[in-house]
Amino acid sequence: MYMQQIVQVTGLTKQFKNLTAVDGLSFSVNEGDVYGFLGQNGAGKSTSIRMMLTLIEPTSGEIEIFGMKLAKHRREILSQIGAVIEKPDIYKYLSAYDNLQLFAKLSGINPSRQQLMDQLEMVGLAHRANDKVKTFSQGMKQRLGIGIALVHNPRLIILDEPTNGLDPQGIADIRNLILHLSRESKKTVIVSSHLLSEIEQIATRVLIIDKGKKLVEGNANELFDPSQTIVELQTMDNVFALQQLKQSKWLNNLQAPRNNAIVLKLDRKEIPILHTDLAEMQVQLLSLQPRHSLEDYFLQITSNNQHVDHYTN
């Protein structure tokens, strides 16, 4: 099925004196995507997003949104985008309802009370509509910020690190809200994060960047393939364990050792079989740590800043 491209970024670059924050970045976002924009802090995610919102001017490159060039059709494009960058700007001495009404007027619209209450219901704040924002938790403020970003019914929603500083419940609330926006409201969402575990649970497509450069882009169901699970083993005697594995059916699953651990790549459902076989080989197991290959890859490239081809060859 053909998916319409909503965002097309080509060769995007931003230099600040001697620092290249974004370096020739190209990617596309399809209509209906929850597009996970993933990278460690300082990788260039926020700079890229700010250029997409015309808050920063690119050094070079081109951004097209809704089939229009951003440089030429700025006002028309931004009128169809809702965004929350870092912590949302909210008037803490006003109620949630009054904040929403105020920002609606600033957007040039005049929704009914019921429409505003429906908006608060969607972000889980209808029961606190008349309470002042200063009494809200950080997670509630974040959800209200998203509600404000949605007040003009945008086609595209951009959320920059929306779970930063939130407790586990607040993170779960934002995650569920993003899924609701995608599945029920049919919105296209770009969400940046440095937490792969969060992106894994919501994204349909994923982009990983490091030092401003694209490393990986693809469908989440392929990148998070359970058949590509990395398992790290620590044993009482790794030399003996490795010797036993090389003489077993697991020989072809062995990968290069790492961090003094034995590494295998296998389907997640094979882990219990591996565990049983190790016991039969009389291998004394200290730990068995599974993670899917994208998580393993992400941890490697963001901690060691290695080149992408080293891990994909």
Same domain for 187 and 250, yes or no, is: no
pLDDT at position 48 is 96
**What is the number of H-type helices and E-type strands within the chain?**
12, 14
> Is the model's pLDDT at 21 over the cut of 90?
yes
Same domain for 89 and 29, yes or no, is: yes
pLDDT at position 223 is 79
**What is the percentage of the chain residues whose pLDDT exceeds 70?**
94
Same domain for 87 and 199, yes or no, is: yes
What strand order describes the sheet that includes 34-38? Answer: 81-85, 156-160, 188-193, 34-38, 205-210, 213-219
> Range with the lowest mean pLDDT among 70-74, 141-145, 160-164, 294-298?
294-298
Q: What is the mean pLDDT of residues 249-253?
A: 93
Residue 251: CB partners within 8 Å, gap ≥ 6?
Answer: 245
Same domain for 190 and 117, yes or no, is: yes
Overall domain count for the chain? 2
Same domain for 263 and 155, yes or no, is: no
What percentage of the chain's residues is helix, strand, coil (to nearest 5)?
40, 30, 30
State residue 162 phi and psi, 5-degree precision: -70, -15
**Following CA atoms 222, 227, 230, 235 in sequence, which dihedral angle do they give, to the nearest 10 degrees?**
170
Beta strands in the chain (DSSP E): 5-16, 19-30, 34-38, 60-65, 68-69, 81-85, 156-160, 188-193, 205-210, 213-219, 229-235, 254-258, 261-266, 285-292
pLDDT at position 293 is 65
Among the candidates 223, 255, 275, a domain finishes at 223
Q: What is the mean pLDDT of residues 9-37?
A: 94
Q: What is the CATH number of the domain that holds 140?
A: 3.40.50.300
> Is the model's pLDDT at 197 over the cut of 90?
no
Same domain for 92 and 217, yes or no, is: yes
Contact 148, 101 (CB under 8 A): no
pLDDT at position 101 is 94
Nearest to 255 by CA among 221, 279, 229: 229
> Is the model's pLDDT at 300 over the cut of 70?
no
pLDDT at position 270 is 93
Nearest to 51 by CA among 90, 80, 10, 17: 10
Intra-chain end-to-end CA distance of the chain, in Å = 30
Among the candidates 158, 192, 223, a domain finishes at 223
State residue 147 phi and psi, 5-degree precision: -60, -40
> Is the model's pLDDT at 16 over the cut of 80?
yes
Q: In whole angstroms, what is the distance from residue 214 CA to residue 88 CA?
A: 28
pTM (2 d.p.): 0.81
Q: What is the mean pLDDT of residues 44-48?
A: 94
Residues in the chain: 313
pLDDT at position 63 is 97
> Structural domain of residue 199, as residue ranges?
5-223
> Is the model's pLDDT at 305 over the cut of 50?
no
Q: In whole angstroms, what is the distance from residue 135 CA to residue 282 CA?
A: 59
Same domain for 68 and 127, yes or no, is: yes
> Is the model's pLDDT at 57 over the cut of 90?
yes
pLDDT at position 67 is 94
Same domain for 291 and 144, yes or no, is: no
